[in-house]
Amino acid sequence: MPTERDPIAIIGAGPVGLVLALLLARAGVPVALLEAEADISEELRASTFHPPTLDMLDGLGLAAPLVAQGLVGPTWQIRRHEDGARAVFDLGVIAPDTAHPYRLQAEQWKLSRLVLARLAAQHPQALPRFGCAVETLVQDDAGVLVGCRGFDPFRAAFVVGCDGARSVVRRAMDMPFAGDTYPETTILATTPFDFGAVFAGLSNVNYVWTEHPAFSGTFSLLHVPGKWRASLHTAPDEDVQAALTPEAIERKLQAIHPKPTPYDVPDLRPYRIHQRIVQDYRRGRMLLAGDAAHLNSPSGGMGMNGGIHDAFELAAHLVPVWQGEAQAVHLDRYTRRRRPIAEREIIAQADRNRARMRERDPARRAVLLAEMQATAGDPVRARDHLLRSSMINGLRAAATVE
């Protein structure tokens, strides 16, 4: 019988919180999943699922329905816009290492909806309570008193913050969020225009160097069902608000591909890029996962994936604790396994990816592109690179930590 009678409270019903709730509910652990918003957010957020994430989701029966709603990308590339020269990485070389040797392009809310439907069908007691903004968290040796707008306070055995960069749980833990904010602002714009029809050899994921003055050296093009997502940057000396005007967005998209009619841009979102991480993912009976614990550049698409990996690792430790095993043995191991990987394999790798794409010198770009082409063309080197960039090496390293 469980030694803990109160539920585990999960704050935040994004993909990380929802996956954690499903994992715990499947193990018979009572869950209180709280979400401040009125519904699942369908804002422009992550859209890339890496191979090991799909492997994990496959164990929940969620990979196949997610793949059915996305685009399978067997390759990704780094590209020079002016002449189309590119280094193309074929994930087929890691087929011996994963059941899903590709990147899946699907908006993160599609996974959230799938998990929500699974909870409703099999674990309705773990469904999220929407419109419940957590306001106070007070912990003692036996649990955490949770106070939320919308219902009476309750006690939880543990509280897990999956509530993003502005985490209420992290603040209640008084946990510093050390790191930096990059100077640039990225503007994410979507369009139904098919860039794949006008650029030879385009992948579903493309990181692009350009010398066009409308940009600060780079943009990216990511294909999701029915639209392309263009990550744009302000031009040198361009004010962010000026860059967000319809005229500026049109100018940037025309710089990518000129066409006689204006671009249809149904979605637009500016965001700042951070690299931050907490020192410890746990303080007493409060824990952190996903963006609440670590933030990184989106270059490489590792943020959401790393958060989902956090959820699987944390569930593997919370379940035995719920069943009566020692807290410190399992929950301290959660930080030991996940934090170094986030710091070394997610934040640092994403920072290197960003730095490479922010390179402005044409000669240096030529060298970097030649190096990437040589790596992509060598099966051994390509496999090593893809095991790192697909997050498989990090997971393998974490699994060895006691």
Instruction: Look at residues 304, 299, 295 and name the one whose alpha carbon lies nearest to residue 276.
Output: 295
For residue 41, the surrounding DSSP H or E stretch is none
**71-78 mean pLDDT:** 98
**367-383 mean pLDDT:** 98
What is the spatial distance between Cα 339 and Cα 266, in angstroms, rounded to a whole number? 37
145 touches 153 (CB < 8 A): yes
pLDDT at 150 over 80: no
Single-letter amino acid, residue 327: Q
- At residue 337 the predicted structure's pLDDT band, cuts being 50, 70 and 90, is very high
Residue 229 domain-assigned? no
What is the spatial distance between Cα 234 and Cα 226, in angstroms, rounded to a whole number? 26
What is the spatial distance between Cα 123 and Cα 101, in angstroms, rounded to a whole number? 31
Q: pLDDT value at position 2?
A: 40
Q: pLDDT value at position 3?
A: 42
Residue 268 domain-assigned? no
pLDDT at 4 over 60: no
pLDDT at 233 over 80: yes
What is the spatial distance between Cα 125 and Cα 25, in angstroms, rounded to a whole number? 8
**8-21 mean pLDDT:** 98
Global confidence as pTM: 0.96
Beta-bridged to residue 230, according to DSSP, are 189, 221
What is the spatial distance between Cα 276 and Cα 274, in angstroms, rounded to a whole number? 6
Single-letter amino acid, residue 104: L
Residue 231 CB neighbour total at 10 angstroms: 19
Give the DSSP per-residue string, 195-223: GGGTSTT--SEEEEE---TTSSSEEEEEE
**16-31 mean pLDDT:** 98
280 touches 350 (CB < 8 A): no
Cα separation values, 332 from 23, 317, 318, 396, Å = 19, 9, 11, 19
pLDDT at 339 over 70: yes
Residue 130 domain-assigned? yes
Mean pLDDT across the chain: 94
Q: pLDDT value at position 301?
A: 82
Structure tokens at 50: 């890496």
Residue 88 domain-assigned? no
Residue 362 domain-assigned? no
Q: What is the pLDDT of residues 353-367, one digit of tens each?
A: 888 988 999 999 999
Of all residues in the chain, the percent with pLDDT exceeding 70 is 99
Q: pLDDT value at position 327?
A: 87
Q: pLDDT value at position 330?
A: 87
Residue 293 domain-assigned? yes
Residue 187 domain-assigned? no
pLDDT at 236 over 90: no
What is the spatial distance between Cα 30 and Cα 393, in angstroms, rounded to a whole number? 33
The residue segments making up the domain with residue 55 are 8-71+105-178+275-357
Q: What is the pLDDT of residues 266-316, one digit of tens each?
A: 999 998 888 999 999 999 999 999 999 999 888 778 899 999 999 999 999
Q: What is the pLDDT of residues 82-105, one digit of tens each?
A: 999 999 999 999 999 999 999 999
- At residue 1 the predicted structure's pLDDT band, cuts being 50, 70 and 90, is very low
Q: pLDDT value at position 146?
A: 97
Domains held by the chain: number: 1
Beta-bridged to residue 75, according to DSSP, are 90
Q: What is the pLDDT of residues 151-195, one digit of tens each?
A: 889 999 999 999 999 999 999 999 999 899 888 889 999 999 999
Residue 239 domain-assigned? no
Single-letter amino acid, residue 141: D
Q: What is the pLDDT of residues 35-48, one digit of tens each?
A: 999 999 998 899 99
Q: pLDDT value at position 182?
A: 85
Q: What is the pLDDT of residues 184-227, one digit of tens each?
A: 889 999 999 999 999 999 999 999 999 999 998 999 999 999 99
pLDDT at 345 over 90: no
CATH of the domain at 139: 3.50.50.60
Q: What is the pLDDT of residues 128-137, one digit of tens each?
A: 999 999 999 9
Instruction: Look at residues 355, 377, 255, 238 and name the one whose alpha carbon lies nearest to residue 296.
Output: 355
Single-letter amino acid, residue 169: V
Write down the H helix ranges in 290-361: 303-322, 327-341, 348-358
Angle between helices 108-122 and 15-26 (to 10 degrees): 30
Q: pLDDT value at position 235?
A: 85
Cα separation values, 101 from 51, 57, 94, 203, Å = 6, 14, 6, 15
Q: Per this entry, what is the length of the chain? A: 402
Structure tokens at 258: 């000129």
